[in-house]
């Protein structure tokens, strides 16, 4: 377990997350891709804290902030899913064409 | 806490957990059942949480367990409530622009991986004398209290926003329906309302989509 292997793992998680966020049609599956990206970001932050940060507490704080971002992303995402579903009975991105010209 | 001179056991555990995190993360998008997908994501998060504990960030690792256990359960509930095919009874592959997405994912991995392999980062491990949980607590309620409290405030704002967005009269309904502007003088007529609307809520034709 070195910084390099940890960052490679984080890169893999972020890569899978990017694939998921770009490819999924369903809103919730799309959000799972975003969550996976943040998962990789948190792992990278902790890895840097543990191996390059000399134990600076701000490194851990950054991870807490990313966790808060994740919770916000999740809550707002679900709220938007509910709002869209109320309006259009839609659960896939293709049915939202309101801003398409 | 020995965070640098860890033994072989930690390395083996890391290898297994890393494999688990990547494989379950991948399976999220390769399973027919959306509920199963959210539990795969949960496993991936828990594997990363255990890796954090191996890195001596116990608080963050444990916080990850709690947060993700709840979050993914909520996610599974949403899958059952709203989404098609929650149980995976039919084969499912709902993707668009898949080739671009694969390309972007691989490119992201290659760029970040190249950075991990080629860049040199300072070698300053956590000192053995440091208690990570205590130092995090002192930071959160000390120098970085403003940041920490701001995060709490943003979470509160999110809660309000979420209620606004998901309540019935929302963004896609008639936003002003049933609302009455205050009068110009106490007890007077509502300000800025067209004549025909003044009879009140009953006379409205509902033009938001029910159901």
Q: State percent of chain B over pLDDT 70.
A: 77
The neighbour count for residue B126, using CB atoms within 10 Å, is 24
Give the minimum alpha-carbon distance from A50 to chain B in angstroms, rounded to a whole number: 5
* A-B C-beta contacts closer than 8 Å: 263
- Residue bearing tokens 């300000």: B191
pLDDT digits 0-9 by tens, B123-174: 888 888 888 899 999 998 999 999 999 999 999 999 999 988 887 654 555 5
Residue B45 has a pLDDT of 94
Interface of A with B in 20-59 (CB under 8 A): 20, 22-26, 28-29, 31-33, 35-36, 39, 42-43, 46-55, 57-58
User: Which of the two residues, B112 and B194, has the higher pLDDT score?
Assistant: B112
A24, A44 contact by CB (below 8 A): no
pLDDT over 90 (residue B94): no
Going by pLDDT thresholds of 50, 70 and 90, the confidence category of residue A6 is very high
CB atoms within 10 A of CB B130: 17
Mean pLDDT of chain B: 81
pLDDT of residue B206: 45
Domains and CATH numbers, chain A: 3-91 (1.10.287.3510)
Beta carbons of B46 and B24 less than 8 angstroms apart = no
Q: How far apart are CA A97 and CA A80, in angstroms?
A: 15
B108 contacts A14? CB cut-off 8 A: yes
Residues of chain A found within 8 Å of residue B38, distances taken between Cβ atoms: 32
DSSP B56: T
Give the span between the Cα atoms of B51 and B84, in whole angstroms. Answer: 34
Whether B64 contacts B45, CB under 8 Å: yes
Q: What is the pLDDT of residue B172?
A: 53
pLDDT reported for residue A73: 92
Does residue B2 register a pLDDT over 60? no
pLDDT confidence of residue B188: 73
Paired strand residues for A24 = B95
Q: What share of chain A has pLDDT > 90, as a percent?
A: 55
* pLDDT for B74: 87
Distance from CA of B183 to the nearest CA of A (A): 31
Buried b (16+ CB within 10 A) or exposed e, B30-67: ebebbbbbbbbbbbbbbbbbbbbbbbbbbbbbebbbeb
| Mean pLDDT to the nearest integer, B186-195 | 65
């Amino acid at each position: 377990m070195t910084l390099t292997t940890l960052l490679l793992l984080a890169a893999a998680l972020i890569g899978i997350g990017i694939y998921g966020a770009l490819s999924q049609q369903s809103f919730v599956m799309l959000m799972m891709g975003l969550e996976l990206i943040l998962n990789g970001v948190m792992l990278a932050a902790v890895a840097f804290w543990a191996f390059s940060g000399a134990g600076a507490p701000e490194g851990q704080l950054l991870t807490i902030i990313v966790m808060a971002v994740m919770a916000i992303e999740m809550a707002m995402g679900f709220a938007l899913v509910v709002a869209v579903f109320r309006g259009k009975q839609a659960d896939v991105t293709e049915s939202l064409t309101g801003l398409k010209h | 806490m020995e965070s640098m001179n860890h033994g072989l056991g930690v390395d083996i555990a890391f290898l297994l957990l890393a494999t688990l995190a990547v494989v379950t993360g991948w399976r999220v998008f390769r399973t027919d059942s959306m509920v199963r997908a959210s539990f795969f994501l949960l496993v991936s998060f828990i594997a990363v949480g255990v890796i954090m504990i191996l890195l001596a960030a116990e608080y963050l690792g444990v916080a990850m367990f709690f947060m993700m256990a709840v979050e993914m359960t909520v996610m599974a509930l949403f899958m059952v409530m709203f989404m098609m095919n929650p149980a995976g009874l039919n084969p499912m592959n709902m993707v668009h622009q898949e080739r671009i997405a694969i390309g972007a994912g691989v490119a992201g991995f290659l760029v970040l991986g190249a950075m991990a392999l080629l860049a040199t980062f300072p070698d300053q491990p956590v000192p053995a004398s440091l208690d990570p949980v205590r130092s995090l607590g002192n930071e959160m309620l000390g120098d970085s209290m403003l940041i920490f409290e701001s995060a709490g405030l943003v979470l509160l704002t999110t809660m309000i926003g979420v209620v606004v967005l998901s309540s019935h009269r929302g963004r896609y309904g008639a936003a002003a329906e049933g609302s009455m502007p205050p009068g110009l003088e106490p007890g007077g007529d509502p300000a800025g309302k067209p004549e025909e609307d003044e009879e009140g809520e009953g006379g409205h034709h509902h033009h938001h989509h029910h159901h």
